[in-house]
Amino acid sequence: MSLLGSYRIVVASDCCQTKPSLQSLHHFSKYSYTRHIHRMSPRAPRLHVDGAILGYQRGLRNQYNDVSLIKIKGVDSKEDVDFYLGKRVAFITKAESADKYGNKFRVNWGKVCRAHGSNGVVRCRFRRNLPPQAIGGKVRVMLYPSRV
């Protein structure tokens, strides 16, 4: 397996961190450096989009807990929502006890059902309704099932 792990060049005044391109990697290896070159194993990829839990579907005085409203990052109009329809949504919590694989993270799966309004907010249904303390919390909108 070719080792195309990314190399992070750590500099004291490194404020803007750019991923070195393939060409720049070859360039750096030719010159001697006083800086550290930390080799990083390729990080786990991010294959989801973050979403914020806004609350439940509701009128002013009644709320319907089966449907939650989610604001997907970067999605600001009804047209943009079309890509996300049907995508699975994960509400992840950390538990004290591990499951049989040693995993302490628990997931409540849901899916994006439809747009809510015209500004990119989305209605989601979960296997178990979201707990109210989750309002304001994060949710992961996965990229599957993919229709691309």
Partner 1 sequence: MAKTPRYYPAEDIKPAKVVHKVKQNPPRVRKSITPGTVLILLAGRFRGKRVVCLKALESGLLLVSGPYKINGVPLRRVNQAYVIATSTKVDVTGVDVASITDEYFARSKDAPKEAEEEFFAGDAPKPAVVSDQRKADQKKVDESLLKAVGAVPMLEAYLAAQFSLSANDKPHLMKF
Positions that interact with partner 1 (CB under 8 A): 1-2, 4, 22, 42-49, 74-75, 80, 82-84, 100, 142-148
CB of 96 to partner 1, least distance (A): 20
Of the candidates 38, 40, 39, 35, the residue with the CA atom closest to the CA atom of residue 11? 35
Residue 9 CB, shortest distance to partner 1, in Å, is 18
Q: How many angstroms separate the CA atoms of 109 and 114, rounded?
A: 16
Q: Which is nearer to partner 1, 133 or 146 (CB)?
A: 146
Q: 56 vs 139, which CB is nearer to partner 1?
A: 139
Strands (DSSP E) found in the chain: 7-10, 36-39, 48-58, 63-72, 88-94, 105-116, 121-126, 138-142
> What's the closest the beta carbon of residue 135 comes to partner 1, in angstroms?
24
State how beta strands 36-39 and 88-94 pair: unpaired
The Cα 18–Cα 67 span in angstroms is 40
Nearer to partner 1, 56 or 70 (CB): 70
Which is nearer to partner 1, 61 or 100 (by Cβ)? 100
Least separation in angstroms between CB 44 and partner 1: 8
